[in-house]
């Protein structure tokens, strides 16, 4: 038995803050929980499942968050696969609900990355894992790992900096339609090309911003969802995957999205042409380009022309990141939760000036980790 229409998203809340130096991450999460539960018409005491992770989460951070919210859920999941985590949590929550392990799951994220001045993309990325010793001495950063993918894509397919810049320009245009977005002034391809290089070929405006931020969504069973105040947004299918060095043999233009996307679409029984909106994790412009290729929206190598000509605009052929994305709206270290929230707003018809016409099916894809070293992918197909 699959997960299609076994569980629904019944409440969402995106915290309006982009800079909260006087708040803690846990406070932002509690405020987001309050907003999402109010949206759903549910009370905190009805929550019997909790999913979260975070940049500052300790090994048992999920237990600390339960304590902070004074929850005693029967299901917890703090799967930590980087920014894709909250996309994966949605699938895990649906599976837990379908299996009868719990009935109301709160998925929540909050971070004060900006007010703590975290150098998320341009600090070293050391760990205690065995591969670290073969990498850290050479100075990889998060940006540089994505840059290695971008450089290879340009080499193999002639993809240009202008084509990557198109993604940043379209996303900024969407941010201009979102009053809560951190950066709303329109930019041009020339602006992107004139911004300073962080790790070639990626320039400052190819990179996601760093903000504070938080958000939450609530999932419940089909039966329960039908009794609640908001139109249920159904999970049709989900997939997860990882990408890594493959013993030294990896093709670095193939990403986890190929595996997770194929699985999610097959489980949902949905074809690419039926998708009205794609929420694609935009840590960097190259992330969007290779993810669209790997998800099968275009063929490998064709991403550069695919993202050009306004195709990704909210009124284009494949609207992408209509909230302004991590490139312009918010990126508090991990962004998966916001991909889901914007997809729900669009599927409810509540996306304001960036509303996609007749939005019925949305694909959400989170990418976590460092694309050119090791990363994760999680895909959802959602429908109203």
Q: Which residues bind another protein (CB under 8 A)?
A: 119, 122-124, 126, 128, 130-141, 143-144, 147-152, 155, 196-202, 245, 247-250, 252, 372-373
In the bound complex, what is the minimum distance in angstroms from residue 56's beta carbon to another protein?
18
In the bound complex, what is the minimum distance in angstroms from residue 360's beta carbon to another protein?
39
**CB of 124 or CB of 310, closer to another protein:** 124
Pairwise CA distance, residues 3 & 140, whole Å: 39
Per-residue DSSP letter, 304: H
Pairwise CA distance, residues 231 & 218, whole Å: 13
**CB of 64 or CB of 122, closer to another protein:** 122
Pairwise CA distance, residues 306 & 159, whole Å: 11
**CB of 155 or CB of 226, closer to another protein:** 155
The three-class DSSP label of residue 107 is: strand
In the bound complex, what is the minimum distance in angstroms from residue 125's beta carbon to another protein?
9
Pairwise CA distance, residues 298 & 214, whole Å: 32
In the bound complex, what is the minimum distance in angstroms from residue 115's beta carbon to another protein?
17
In the bound complex, what is the minimum distance in angstroms from residue 195's beta carbon to another protein?
12
Radius of gyration (C-alpha) of the chain in whole angstroms: 19
Check: CB of residue 376 under 8 Å from CB of residue 84: yes
Pairwise CA distance, residues 351 & 276, whole Å: 13
In the bound complex, what is the minimum distance in angstroms from residue 152's beta carbon to another protein?
4
Q: How many alpha carbons fall within 13 Å on the CB side of residue 295?
A: 35
**CB of 126 or CB of 316, closer to another protein:** 126
Per-residue DSSP letter, 338: H
**CB of 119 or CB of 266, closer to another protein:** 119
**CB of 119 or CB of 194, closer to another protein:** 119
């Amino acid at each position: 038995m699959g997960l299609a229409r076994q569980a629904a998203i019944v409440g969402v809340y995106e915290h309006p803050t982009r800079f909260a130096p006087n708040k803690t991450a846990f406070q932002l999460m509690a405020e987001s929980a309050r907003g999402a539960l109010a949206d759903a018409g549910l009370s905190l005491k009805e929550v019997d499942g909790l999913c979260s992770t975070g940049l500052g989460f300790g090994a048992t951070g999920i237990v600390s968050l339960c304590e902070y919210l004074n929850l005693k859920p029967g299901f917890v999941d703090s799967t930590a696969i980087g920014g894709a985590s909250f996309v994966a949590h949605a699938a895990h929550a649906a599976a837990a609900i379908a299996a009868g392990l719990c009935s109301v799951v709160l998925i929540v994220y909050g971070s004060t990355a900006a007010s703590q001045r975290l150098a998320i993309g341009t600090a070293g990325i050391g760990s205690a894992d065995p591969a670290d010793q073969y990498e850290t001495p050479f100075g990889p950063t998060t940006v540089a790992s994505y840059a290695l993918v971008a450089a290879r894509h340009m080499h193999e397919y002639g993809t240009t900096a202008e084509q990557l810049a198109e993604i940043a320009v379209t996303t900024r245009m969407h941010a201009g339609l979102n009053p809560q977005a951190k950066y709303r002034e329109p930019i041009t391809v020339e602006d992107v090309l004139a911004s300073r290089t962080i790790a070639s070929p990626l320039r400052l405006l190819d990179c996601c911003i760093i903000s504070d931020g938080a958000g939450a969504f609530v999932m419940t069973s089909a039966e329960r969802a039908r009794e609640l105040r908001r139109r249920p947004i159904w999970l049709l299918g989900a997939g997860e995957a990882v990408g890594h060095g493959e013993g030294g043999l990896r093709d670095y233009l193939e990403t986890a999205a190929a595996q997770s996307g194929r699985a999610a679409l097959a489980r949902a029984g949905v074809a690419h042409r039926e998708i009205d909106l794609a929420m694609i994790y935009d840590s960097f412009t190259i992330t969007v380009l290779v993810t669209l290729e790997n998800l099968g929206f275009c063929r490998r190598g064709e991403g550069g022309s695919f993202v050009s000509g306004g195709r990704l605009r909210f009124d284009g052929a494949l609207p992408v990141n209509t909230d302004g994305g991590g490139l312009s709206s918010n990126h508090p270290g991990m962004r998966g939760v916001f991909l889901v929230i914007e997809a729900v707003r669009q599927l409810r018809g509540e996306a304001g000036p960036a509303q996609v016409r007749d939005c019925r099916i949305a694909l959400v894809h989170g990418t976590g980790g460092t694309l050119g070293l090791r990363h994760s992918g999680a895909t959802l197909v959602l429908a109203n």
